[in-house]
């Protein structure tokens, strides 16, 4: 019997790993690879802020897991992991229901020899009063599309109005990390695009965007030399940036900060902090940390079971020589997927010594929609190079193209780029439905 590798989670890391293993071990019959995800399609998570603003049509940029599995010699199973039996080496999948609540796919179990958990992360609202009830989150495509629809509904209602009252919309974004900053810029761009298409009862200057950060500056996880220019650009765009302002409560029409400031908002997005999915906390006795991440060794094996690996945002992987863990970033998941593709091949060949993962920071790039981009690139040959404007924007776009190449290969990615270029002349610049 072939060695059975089950990968739970079809995000950027899990899908890249399944594709790599399928092209090598699966194609040659050395292992059977199964990818499990609760959705039928994949979209790159760093693009969800563009889906929310409407500048990206998710239906055009999604990848179908069934087709990807067929093309790359692995199997796809639709389902959500609900349990784990480490002794019998099997996972449980809960039943999948359709939109009417009817059972679409029954509950079942999958056996494995090696299990890889790559279920990503969700937004952490830190138990803030009213946040779960009144805020939107951007963890999934559905959530991003829900935000876009609510935004568009405001404009459609205003467009149908007959009064001479000046229409306005207020958006509050909690968290000035990469997601919050990029969403604020995309929304400013969306306001101009919507007005250009005739939905101009809400003028661009009447979309009031407030970005709220509990820490002392925007982009707290990145160097200040990046955060400073981004802060200035956001203010030039008309975004109100509030730092040192922790949100203590969210109501139906406002946010309240710890110092009592009330921020009116008809649309509220929580984009501050992450945590791993809650089911990992009680998963068959595996070690987890305070934000539910599975604790792993440098080999990416969980501390209490050598047959179970975890990587990406759902794993707490140590950085040698420090007391920190690997940051939850797309480049880390990509690096770890590349390492695991080699490690699992060695494991199947019976080699007990697996390589350790060493995080390499290749820099950070922040997109400010079509207005600008800023960031730094890091490398052993050229050190640290700061980028701004058009050049930074091109490097930012190239990150997504690299992800596509890992999944589709070079030729098909070039065809996708060509198709996207051709489609620009026949489609609106903003999704209007």
Residues 148-168 have pLDDT tens digits of 999 999 999 988 876 767 789
Statement to judge: residues 42 and 77 lie in one domain: yes
198: CATH: 3.50.50.60
* Rounded-to-integer distance, Cα 57 and Cα 44, Å: 12
**Residues 135-151, mean pLDDT to the nearest whole number:** 94
Q: Are 149 and 183 in contact (CB under 8 A)?
A: no
Tell which of 218, 252, 270 closes a domain. 270
Q: Which of 25-39, 78-92, 384-398 has the lowest mean pLDDT?
A: 384-398
Cα distance between residue 406 and residue 310, in whole Å: 20
Show the CA angle centred on residue 142, arms to residues 9 and 122, nearest 5°.
Answer: 50
Give the domain range for residue 371: 363-423
* Domain final residue, candidates 324, 348, 372: 348
% of the chain residues with pLDDT over 70 = 95
User: What are the backbone angles phi and psi of residue 199, rounded to the nearest 5°?
Assistant: -85, 65
Q: Is residue 430 part of a domain?
A: no
Domain membership flag for residue 155 = yes
Asked if residue 169 belongs to a domain, the reply is: yes
Q: What is the mean pLDDT of residues 60-64?
A: 86
Q: pLDDT confidence of 177, banded at 50, 70, 90?
A: very high
Query: How far is 272 from 220, CA to CA, in rounded Å?
Result: 11
Task: Please say if the pLDDT value at position 124 is more than 70.
Answer: yes
Q: Sorting pLDDT into bands at 50, 70 and 90, what band is 382?
A: very low
Contacts of 179 (CB under 8 A, 6+ apart): 48, 49, 138, 271
**CA–CA separation, 73 vs 347, rounded Å?**
19
Same structural domain for residues 94 and 142?
A: no
Name the domain count of the chain.
3
Residues 101 and 86 placed together within one structural domain of the fold: yes
Please tell me the predicted confidence (pLDDT) of residue 313.
95
| pLDDT at residue 420, rounded to an integer | 73
**Per-residue tokens: 370:** 């079509």
When pLDDT is averaged across residues 176-191 and rounded to a whole number, the result is 94
How many Å apart are CA 337 and CA 358, to the nearest integer? 12
30-40 tens-digit pLDDT: 999 999 999 99
Rounded Cα gap, residues 428 and 406, in angstroms: 29
> Is the pLDDT confidence value at 249 over 80?
yes
**pLDDT tens digits for range 210-232:** 999 999 999 998 888 888 889 99
């Amino acid at each position: 019997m072939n060695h059975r590798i089950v990968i739970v989670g079809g995000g950027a890391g899990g899908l890249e790993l399944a594709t790599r293993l399928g092209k090598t071990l699966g194609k040659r019959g050395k292992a059977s690879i199964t990818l499990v995800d609760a959705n039928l399609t994949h979209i790159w998570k760093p693009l969800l802020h563009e889906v929310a603003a409407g500048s990206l049509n998710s239906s055009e940029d999604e990848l179908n897991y069934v087709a990807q599995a067929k093309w790359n010699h692995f199997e796809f199973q639709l389902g959500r992991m609900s349990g784990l039996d480490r002794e019998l080496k099997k996972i449980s999948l809960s039943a999948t229901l359709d939109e009417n609540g009817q059972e679409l796919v029954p509950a079942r179990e999958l056996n494995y020899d090696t299990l890889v958990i790559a279920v990503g992360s969700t937004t952490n609202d830190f138990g803030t009063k009213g946040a779960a009830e009144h805020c939107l989150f951007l963890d999934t495509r559905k959530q991003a599309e829900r935000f876009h629809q609510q935004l568009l509904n405001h404009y459609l209602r205003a467009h149908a109005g007959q009064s001479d009252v000046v229409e306005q919309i207020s958006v509050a974004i909690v968290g000035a990390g990469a997601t919050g900053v990029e969403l604020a810029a995309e929304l400013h761009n969306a306001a101009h695009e919507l007005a250009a298409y005739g939905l101009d009862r809400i003028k661009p200057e009447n979309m009031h965007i407030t970005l709220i950060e509990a820490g002392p500056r925007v982009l707290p996880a990145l160097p200040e030399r990046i955060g400073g220019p981004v802060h200035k650009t956001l203010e030039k765009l008309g975004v109100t940036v509030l730092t040192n302002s922790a949100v203590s409560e969210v109501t139906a029409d406002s946010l309240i900060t710890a110092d009592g400031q009330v921020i009116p908002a008809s649309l509220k997005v929580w984009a501050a902090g992450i945590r791993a999915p809650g089911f990992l906390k009680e998963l068959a006795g595996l070690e987890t940390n305070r934000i539910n991440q599975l604790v792993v060794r440098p080999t990416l094996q969980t501390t209490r079971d050598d047959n179970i690996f975890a990587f990406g945002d759902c794993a707490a992987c140590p950085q040698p020589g420090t007391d920190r863990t690997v940051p939850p970033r797309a480049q880390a998941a990509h690096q770890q997927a590349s390492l695991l593709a080699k490690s699992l091949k060695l494991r199947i060949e019976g080699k007990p010594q697996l390589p350790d993962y060493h995080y390499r920071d290749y820099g950070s790039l922040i997109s400010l929609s079509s207005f600008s981009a800023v960031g730094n690139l890091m490398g052993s040959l050229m050190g640290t190079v700061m980028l701004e404007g058009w050049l930074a924007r091109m490097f930012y776009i190239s990150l997504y193209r690299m992800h596509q190449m890992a999944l589709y290969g070079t030729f098909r990615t070039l065809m996708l780029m060509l198709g996207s270029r051709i489609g620009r002349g026949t489609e609106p610049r903003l999704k209007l439905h």
